Amino acid sequence: MSLAEVDAPRSSERGLHSGFLRSADRFPERPALEVEGRAWSYAELRDRAAAIAATLQARTPEDGPPLTGVFAYRNATAFAGVLGTLMRGHGYVPLNRTFPIRRTQQMLESAGCRAIVADAESAGQLESILADRTDELLVLLPDEDDVTEIAARLPGHTVLGRRDLAPAGDWQPQPVDPAALAYVLFLSGRKGAPRGIMISHRSVEHYVTTLVARLGITEEDRFSQTSELTFDNSVFDMFVPWQQGACVCCPSAKTLIKPGRYISDSRLTVWFSVPSTAVFMQRFRMLKPGSYPTLRHSLFSCEALPVEVVEAWAAAAPNSTIDNFFGASEVTVDFVGYRWDPERSPRESEDAVLPVGFPLGELDVIVADEELREVAPGAEGEILVGGPQVSAGYLHDPEATAAAFAAPPGRSGRYYRTGFRARRPRSPAEPLVYLGPMRDQVQVLGEPVPLREVEAVLREESGTEAVAAVAWPVAATGAQGVVAFVGDEDADPDALRAALRERLHGQLVPRRVHALSELPVGEGGDFDRDALIRILEEPK
Amino acid sequence: MSQPTAQDVRAYVVTTLDEPLRAAGVDPAAIPDDFDLHKTGVIDSLGILELITGLEEQFGVEIDYEDLDPEELTIVGPFSRYVAERSRQAA
């Protein structure tokens, strides 16, 4: 494979799905996907996606909302739904049936989706999710032969099953505007409410083509699909392999907890996960030397990557390169990457954690002060990222967009203010070293958690102003959870936690709530998070 | 500490997870053998890590989980029996 193939000049004009379609033409019989114990060839998956796309073309108006929900979990419908939505010319909005109903409702409403592709099990939640909707939605259930029963429970909506889908041959390829949305992904914003991040075809194609070239992917490769579709590492898991005719191997959620045997049995060649998974495998003694000889590339992202974990992984996967990536959903998955070198890397690591490396592709990564001016070499500041991967902003939230995206003085274009601290490298040959989060934002198991927003909800639910949220415990890979405190001895921690679980999502939900008579106050007048962490660290 | 029986392991699991079990609307004293701690949302992967670390400290054994079927890892009965079996072999 040549680089010219990777960087086919027209690819950026044809959308995120164009790589898949090209692979389907080149390798119709090769496997595109393995899931639930079954392999799907490129031709099969394309046809399944084209039937969804053709149905959406026939049933959604050209001037309607350009986003369609994909409500499916680790099965063929999830992947065909993503591809079919893109082939319709819509961006996909990943939904997840393991999320609370209210969360899914808010995401659908915020995105303005008028169509949803759902699998059989997720469809069971639609009655509750759509209960209050007065507008008509189009619900595609490609797994269902008979939708009579479900349709009766969803009055006012159009429900179509497998037999109602248009034939795959009806799908008409349509031009894609590079600035159009490829997907919208939700993280937690104000008071924990879902906040959509808009990512265009242009942004994600820069990321995908950069990674394909970096790794030299071919049709022989077999990729792990570890990340949920609602987490943007999954963009790598799907579109990097599909670009080259490789296979996406999607284990069940259960298998993922302990994936060692799956790596061997599925003969994976590319592994991508959060570092916590590697720590977990090490703890389960699944990183014995020579365990995974089929792996060619191992990639980690979203958490600190400890040297010790890398060394164990390198021994377990002796034929594999190891890359540490770092990023933010606002700049399309990852913006810097670092290739492990057993000689050099331990020296370049700080506090036994790997550097995050060098900008991907054409991205401009700078370390800046509060006025967004680049700091002197060796000085500390906030990481700003500019270039093609920068998001168009937050959906329906111009205020938050204006606060997070700005043009630094003397530079053109919008840069994303990551809220991450780093030291500016002293020379271009020196890798970027991540120092930690700023502005009360922490990463918990890879998920950004705004502690202030957790506290805002805690204040409302507890009825007291004396509240604090801290990231704890903190392992070598980073924070493992959030713990909340209320300065009210009579508060009921269990009831408060239950109330928080209703309003917050994911890692924002505190793992524990402690009621104290009063909270320690620090020098600035704020509650002293460090003192609270010391309380947690005291032996019981 | 002597080698734990499957009953000991089960008792430890149920006691440790008392709060999340109750939060999930389950009576910790009456969970069936085939109860899946992961599927029911009682435990996530970090919780599993805490649980096995706690188990090893409690009973003073080191367990190799390589042969445990991932499907059974978070099912109370098979998990308890596996840990008991491995502790016996390790002793």
What are the residue ranges spanned by the domains of chain A? 42-200, 449-537
> How far apart, in whole angstroms, are the C-alpha atoms of residue A407 and residue B39?
46
Put simply, the answer to whether A494 touches B19 (Cβ < 8 Å) is yes
For residues A364 and A387, the answer to whether their CB atoms sit within 8 Å is: yes
CA-nearest of B4, B38, B9, B45 to B21 is: B38
User: Cα(B70)–Cα(A234) distance, rounded to whole angstroms?
Assistant: 22
* Chain A: closest CA distance from residue B18 (Å): 12
Does A523 have pLDDT greater than 80?
Answer: no
Interatomic CA distance for residues A97 and A141, integer angstroms = 15
Predicted confidence at residue A259, as pLDDT, reads 92
Structure tokens at A441: 């934002």
Region A214-235 average pLDDT: 97
Query: What number is the average pLDDT over the span B56-61?
Result: 86
> In terms of C-beta density within 10 A (0-12 exposed, 13-18 middle, 19 or more buried), how is residue A507 classed?
buried
For residue A145, which amino acid is it? D
Q: Which of B19, B44, B45, B86 to probe by mutation at the A interface, max A CB count within 10 Å?
A: B45
3-state secondary structure of A351: coil
**Does the fold of domain A449-537 match that of domain A42-200?**
no
pLDDT in tens, A442-468: 888 888 888 888 999 999 999 998 899
Residue B3 per-residue DSSP state: P
Contact B65 A480 (CB under 8 A): no
Q: Judge contact between A68 and A113, C-beta under 8 A.
A: yes
Q: In chain B, which ranges are continuous DSSP H helix?
A: 6-16, 18-23, 45-59, 76-90
Pairing label, strands A358-359, A336-339 = antiparallel
The predicted pLDDT at position A436 comes to: 82
A409-438, pLDDT tens digit by residue?
999 999 999 999 999 999 999 999 998 887
Distances (CA, A) of A68 to A9, A85, A174, A301, A368: 28, 6, 16, 28, 38
Q: Do A254 and B45 touch (CB under 8 A)?
A: no
Distance from CA of A269 to the nearest CA of B (A): 21
Asked if A290 contacts A315 with a C-beta cutoff of 8 angstroms, the reply is: yes
A383 with A415: CB under 8 angstroms?
A: no
Across the A:B interface, residue pairs with CB atoms under 8 Å apart total 49
Instruction: Tell me the residues of chain A between 474 and 513 that have a Cβ less than 8 Å away from chain B.
Output: 480-481, 494, 497-498, 501
Residue A136 has pLDDT above 90, yes or no: yes
Q: With contact defined as beta carbons under 8 Å apart, do A92 and A85 qualify?
A: yes
Would you state the structure tokens that stand for residue A261, as one six-digit string?
């045997």
CA distance B7 to chain A (A): 22
Measured CA distances, A510 to A3, A125, A469, A496 (Å): 47, 25, 8, 10
Comparing CB atoms, the residue among B41, B66, B70 nearest residue A257 is B70
**Nearest CB neighbour to B66, from listed A257, A285, A494:** A285
CATH number of A42-200: 3.40.50.980
What single DSSP character describes residue A289?
A: T
CA distances from B6 to A6, B2, B35, B42 (A): 55, 13, 15, 20
Taking CB atoms and an 8 Å cutoff, what residues of chain B touch A286?
A: 65-66
Q: Tell me whether A321 touches chain B (CB under 8 Å).
A: no
Rounded to two decimals, the pTM is: 0.91
Residue with tokens 């494979």: A1
pLDDT, position A5:
43
Chain A contact set for B71 (CB, 8 A)? 254-255
Task: Decide: A289 and A314 in contact? Cβ < 8 Å.
Answer: no
Average pLDDT on A355-371 reads 96
**The CATH fold of domain A449-537:** GMP Synthetase; Chain A, domain 3 (3.30.300)
The band of B87, judged by pLDDT with boundaries at 50, 70 and 90, is: confident
Residue A306 is classified by DSSP as B
Q: What is the pLDDT of residues B28-38, one digit of tens each?
A: 888 899 999 88
